[in-house]
Every structure is written in structure tokens, then in C-alpha cells.
Structure 1
Amino acid sequence: MRMTGPPDDEHADPLSGIDLGDPDRYASGAQHGAWHRLRRDAPLWRQETGDGFPFWSVTRYRDVAAVLMDDKSFSSAHGTILAVAGGDSAGGRTINLMDQPRHADVRLPTMRLMSTHASRQRTGQVRANVRRLVAATFDAGGVVDIARLMLNLPMTAVGETIGLPVEVWDEVPRWAMAGVAPDDPHYADGPAAETLKKAHHRLIAIFSDLIRQKQATPGDDVVSVLLKLDFGGRPMDHREVLLNCYSFAMGAVTTTAHVASHLVLALAERPDVWRDLRENPDLVAGLVEEGLRWASPTNHLLRRVVKPVDVAGTRLEPGELVAAWVASANRDDAVFARPYEFDPRRSPNPHLAFGVGAHRCIGGPPAQVVLGVLIEEMIARLESFEVAGPVTHLRSNFINGITSLPMELRPVPARRPAAIA
């Protein structure tokens, strides 16, 4: 999705023309104007998905945060994205599709592997992984598709933590993205249903092999923890372990990579910010947080009402669906001054890119570490860079992704390869 500000009132779309579910609007344009209009004029908005499921949308920061925080009134077990508004077949069996107390059974034992402390302790290993991914490309310079390169970035942060062998680090991201955007031209392998089937089949095969390996030789990784955790007084069965492996990988791969691409694009479009960053590398931490707010890689999170609750002044009843538009909340001018300005010095920056509450993204700390390491490697290796061709955006109302981002990279002089005499 393109990063734009809202149109002026004279050119604003009428409420009747707003459709938050249409994936084409994210591939070819932006929804920031629609979200701005809804925050102002219709903070609780009702429409239907393309296949006829009615849902409500909340777009203001305070309403989005309230819905995500209230896990007693809103359930995640039905499904968390509009693509499965009719109900997710894995509901109640994976960490992202569980309510309490089962959610805590999975979250608490695995969280120690991805805590802020654990992630910072792994910075040295993450840096070595990131260098293997980007060093040769950055030092050589020339035109590079940054989106393709960044697709593998999440594995440098969490591949070992999940327990995935390096041999599949290149394959998992490709199939994970096909699983969340099966009708995007960049990832489609035949019709959407066929692409989805192939993605599920391949990822399940990878994780089935991994589970067998960890059963024989456990390690200090997510898969090994899942195999031995207490799940409501019993071990997880094989399918539950498999589904949760799938969930952890999908959560990491389909978000962090796109934050990185949007962040690089934002810097390319603002060379003054890049120069400021190179002169003041202490801005890296703030830049990462602003990049997370700016990209908001998860556009929405879906919840199902389980008991009567007031939302934005309206009473909702059990069974109704509510989409909390995180990407809209992160542009709410009631919380963020100049929300359509990219500002690495923004403080405070209480973005909701990782969600909030019991289901706050468990992979947030590793993502912060790897994005910071990436920017530090860019500062060390690149003098400048600029967009070198058309930027292609993901066809998805869920993930705010970039599928192609050609960049002309100019290495710092000391790192340019010597000319051949």
C-alpha cells in the first residue's frame, strides 16, 4: 500500500465509496484517505466482505486499542483476518487463534526465547546472519530488488530461535507469503486455491520433518518447547505442534520483511533523513520505531464479540465481527502529531504495530533487533540509494507489503570493489 496522506475535504471519497476489504485497493493505491474519513465521520463502520460476511471496523487509536486489549469481550479463536471471516479451521489450536487460558499455556513458555533480554543477547549472532544476507550485495552496489532481499531478513532474526535449519531459510519466506497472499501475482502459482494448497503442503512438510528432528534431538528453540509444554494438563498432539510451528513462522516472515522494505523506501524518498541518520547513528532505535509505525505491517486484526459490549458508542452483540485497523490507529492525529510525516525523532511513539494486550506480537523484540542491525549495516556500507524502477505493492488487505523495490545502491567509497585494470 502506498504511503499517502488524506485528501482534502473537497476531494475526499464519500463514505458510500469506502471499501476496506478490497485487496486491489491496497495493491494499487492507499487506504489512508478512507481511514482518515472514517476516524472523523464514522468511527464504527459496517460493511461486508467480498464473500458476504458482515463486519464492523474501528479506526481510531483509542477504539482499536480498546478492542485488542479486551480479550474477555472479544475472541481471537474464530479467526484474526478478514480472509477467514467465516471461521478459521485452526481456531483454538494456534497461539494467535487461542483465548485464555490456553493462549497463556503456549505464550508464556515460548516468550522467554523472544523476550527483549533474549533478543538483545542474540544481537551478535543476528548481526552475523544479516551480514551474510546483505554484505556482498550492499558492497557491490548497483540495482538490487530490496524487497526480494528483505524477504529473507526475518530468518536471520528468528530462524534459529524457531529451530529451522539454515537450508530452508530461503524457502520458508516464499511459501509463507504465498500462504497469506495467494492471489498476489508475485506469489501466485496457479489459481489462489491451488497456490494456497501448495504453500500449506510445502510448509507442513518442512515442519513435519523439523518436529521429527526435535523429537529425536531437542534444543533450546520454539519447536522443542512446544513438544514438551503443558497444554492444559496434557502435551500437545502432533497436529497442534505442527500448526503452532506454522503460526510462529508465518507471524515472523510476513511482517518484518515488509517493515524493512517500507523503511528503506521511506529513507530513499527522504535523502535528508538518511544524511541525518548517517551523521547521528544514535537515531537508529527511534528510526526503527518510526518505521514500525509508518509501515504498520498488519493492516487489521479481526475479533469476534463473545459478550455484549459497547464499541465507539454502539452496543454490539455476541457473534458480531470487529476489524481493528491498526494501520489507521497509527495515523490518528489525536495521538500522533503530524501523523503523515516520517520522523525518526518522534517521541513518544506509542504505535500499535505489534498490537497490544494479551496477543501483542511475541516476535516484536527480535524484529526490533534485526531492523536496527539492518540499518546499522546500511549506514556502514551504503553512501546513498534511490528508487530505480516501479515499486510493486502486495495485493492484500491484511499485510502491508512490497513485492518489488528496485534500488540503485551506492556503496561507501572504501567498500566499492576495486576496478579491474
Structure 2
Amino acid sequence: MITPDLENLPELGEIDLYDPERYRTSSQHPAWHTLRLRAPVWPQSTPDGDRFWSVTRFHDVSTLLMDDKRFSSAYGTILAVAKGDIAAGKTINLMDQPDHAGVRLPAMRTMSTRVARDRKEAVRRHVRRVLGSALDGGTVDFAELAAHLPLAAVGDIVGIPESAWPGLPRLAMAGVAPGDPSYSAGAESDTLTGAHFEIFAMFTELVRERRRRRRDDLISVLLDADLGGRRLSEHELVLNCYSFLMGAVTTTPQVAAHLIQVFIDQPGTWRRVRQDPALVPTAVEEALRWASPTNHLMRRARCPVRLGGTLIDEGDLVCGWVAAANRDETVFAEPYAFDPARQPNPHLAFGVGAHRCIGGPPAQVVLAVLLEELCGRVDEIVPAGAPVHMRSNFINGITSLPVEFRPGGRSERVAAGAATVTR
């Protein structure tokens, strides 16, 4: 997350955006900065020889994600499946129109901005349970704590019983970062197989329960989704439930962890937010831009198309580096500065276009609730150990973040302001 040394940027020949280990051990922002300046549409190959184009400028990434007529999501959306995703065409994130809309439109109603706001106090109760006594002092690994925040936001909405919430974050992370030491259970294939088996088994049972008796949850909504006169098969239902779970559980904790790291590195920013609760909404949006929890999103060209002045052939893979676009200096003033009052802030953390993350509103609410709870109970946030970053070219993750929260009361004026923001 460092500011690149603009006098010593890497050369093009030194850049490798595929290697997951580089994301664990170093920042890729210098490489992305070089590409935005010198090679905004840049070719590279995976170790297996699959070529992909990288786009790093905000306009080009936005165009790639918005243009679902010329760029397909059905083949696969992350570099880990450059040879094609086995769930291609079966889940919301791997569907093109019109099937995509058949799943997306009914699902959106369960996670709308209105629904998310109406559930805010229920989310707060869950968040307080997750935090427990962590904010009362002592050392805690905030990355482990934050892993449980997403289910506080969407567990009830999806229809996952609370008894299953504690074990799901680790399984979900193993599904996106099977090579990371924190989640590995041996070979990457074994880690993936084990995680998938447990999650799929849970959703298979839940789907069968909802067939017998509908509830007010996403699983029930998906059972009745109409895809041009047909319903999703049981296999497709389980895959889509998995997709919604992964979209939430693997991203929101990273935003929370990176936000805490900012407050550790910049105590003045923490004091500023704590003393002015009106900054909570914009600080959340800045945290989303800053963290960019999904480094990239991939598409496949459906026809020859020119992007950023470069001709992309039909069938070519194109990788939009969201994290790079969210530091584009032509769009964001002082992009390497965390500004909790930044406005406007047209970040791409949730994507854009037809595939924009429908879990955005619940994520915004749970992050706002977390920040409000911190502002109300914590005076200082100090490091208690070095952060450990995730081995993944997809998720910009922190697997360990030891911190000490030093409690402190809030003045009546500030508390009253927070209450106003909450309403």
C-alpha cells in the first residue's frame, strides 16, 4: 500500500503481475504505476503459457467491466482459472446476459440499499458479538476478528444458520488463496477440494430444506429465479450460493483490516475520524478505494476490440487491475493519500456495470457499523506485531494483523453526532 518511489519505478521487464508470492512480500503499486504511464495495455503469460492483457488505467478498466457485450464473464473472471472455470455459465459471476439478469435481478432485492439500511441495528448486534471484549484493551489479531464481519452483514440474508458462521471464513479463504500458509491443507488442489466439499455440503442441505419450506432469504429467492422459462438446477443453486458467500466473506474483511492499518500508520487520521462521526460514510468509501480487496477482474473478448489503443483479438483474456485503477492520478487527486473526506470518490472496489457487486450495500453498512463502534469505544490503535499479507494475486488480503485497542470514552458531543449518523 506504499507510495511508489517515482524516481525508481520498475522497468517493464521486471514486472510480473501473476506471481502470487509477490503480493505477499511486496507492493505491486510501483508496477501498476509504471504500466499506467508506459504500457496501459500490457501482455503477459501465466506459467502455463496462457496469455492475458493487463489494463491499469481507470478509463480502460471501467470500459472493460462495463462492456458486457464485447467482453464475456462466462469463461472465467480471475487469473487462477485462465484455462477456463469449471463453473462457467452456471453462477451469477460467470454468466452473460440474459441468464445473468435472471439471477441478479431477484437477488438484488435481498441486498438493496434500503434492505441493508433497515437491517443496520441487527447488523450492529452481530458486530458487537464478533468484537466481544476486543475493544476493551489487550492484544487481538484483528485480521482473524474481521474475517467474521461479512456473515454479520449477510449471513441472515443468504439464509445460513448462525451455527455455521464461525467455520465458514476459513473455508472461504482457502477457496481463493489455497496456496497461502494460513489456509493451506497440503497441496493446493487438496485445500480447494476440502474447502469446496464442506461448503457445498452445507448449501446442498440448505437448498433441500428450502425446497420443502421457503423462507425470507436468498436461497429461497434463487429457487424461484426464472432463467428464460427454466429454474436453476440443484447443482447451479449450490454453486450460486457458494458464489454469493465467497463474494462477501473474502473481501469485506480485507477492507476492515487495511483501514485499521491506515489508522495505525496515521494516528492523526484516526483522531480526525473519531472526532467527526460525519466522516464515517466517506471514510468507508475511501477504505474501499484504498484497499481494493479484489486486485483484478478478468474478461474474455467476444470479438476483436480496441481497448486503450491496442487491438484485442477474439478469445483473448483481459485482466482489469481494479487496484491500479483506484490509484489513477488522472481520476483521484493524491491517489496514494488516504483521505477520509474524499469526494467525489468513483472507486471501482465493487466493480461497475452489469456485474457490479450486489453485496455492496451490506458491506458498506457493516463497515460503517464497525467504524462507529471503534469511534465510540477506542481511543488509540497501536501495532502489536507485523502484518502478514496474503499470497494471492486476486485478493488483496491481510491474514494476520496483531493490534492493541486502547479504550477511551467519547464526549457527549461526539456521541450525539454518531447517533445522528446512525439514524
Shorter-chain TM range is over 0.9
2:45 corresponds to which residue?
A: 48
1:62-73 → structure 2 map (5 Å cutoff)? 62-73=59-70
1:4-403 → structure 2 map (5 Å cutoff)? 4-9=2-7, 11-139=8-136, 141-403=137-399
TM-score normalised to structure 2 length: 0.96
Residues 60-117 of structure 1, C-alpha deviation per residue, up to 9 Å, x if partnerless? Answer: 0000000000000000000000000000000000000000000000000010111111
Structure 1 stretches of at least 4 aligned residues deviating more than 6 Å after TM superposition: none
Question: What's the secondary structure of 1:170's corresponding residue?
Answer: helix
Which moves more between the two structures, 126-135 or 395-404? 126-135
Aligned length: 410
One-letter code aligned to 1:341? A
One-letter code aligned to 2:290? W
Gaps of 5+ in 2: 411-423
Mapped contact 2:18–2:79 kept (Cα < 8 A): yes
Whole-angstrom distance in 2 between the partners of 1:33 and 1:104:
38
One-letter code aligned to 1:130? V
Whole-angstrom distance in 2 between the partners of 1:206 and 1:52:
36
Residues 155-185 of structure 1, C-alpha deviation per residue, up to 9 Å, x if partnerless? Answer: 0000000000000111111100000000100
Whole-angstrom distance in 2 between the partners of 1:355 and 1:106:
18
1:134 is displaced (CA, Å) by 0.7
Gaps of 5+ in 1: 415-421
Please give the root-mean-square deviation of Cα atoms over the aligned residues, in Å: 0.9
Mapped contact 2:251–2:395 kept (Cα < 8 A): yes
Question: What's the secondary structure of 1:169's corresponding residue?
Answer: helix
Whole-angstrom distance in 2 between the partners of 1:380 and 1:209:
40
One-letter code aligned to 2:308? A
Residues 312-339 of structure 1, C-alpha deviation per residue, up to 9 Å, x if partnerless? Answer: 1111111000000000000000000000
Identity percentage of aligned residues: 57
Whole-angstrom distance in 2 between the partners of 1:227 and 1:199:
24
Whole-angstrom distance in 2 between the partners of 1:166 and 1:50:
41
1:226 is displaced (CA, Å) by 0.7
Question: What's the secondary structure of 2:250's corresponding residue?
Answer: helix
Whole-angstrom distance in 2 between the partners of 1:402 and 1:389:
13
1:228 is displaced (CA, Å) by 1.3
1:128 is displaced (CA, Å) by 0.8
Whole-angstrom distance in 1 between the partners of 2:409 and 2:307:
56
Which moves more between the two structures, 312-321 or 152-161? 312-321
One-letter code aligned to 1:163? G
Whole-angstrom distance in 2 between the partners of 1:288 and 1:49:
34
Whole-angstrom distance in 2 between the partners of 1:306 and 1:402:
35
One-letter code aligned to 1:120? R
Whole-angstrom distance in 2 between the partners of 1:413 and 1:338:
33
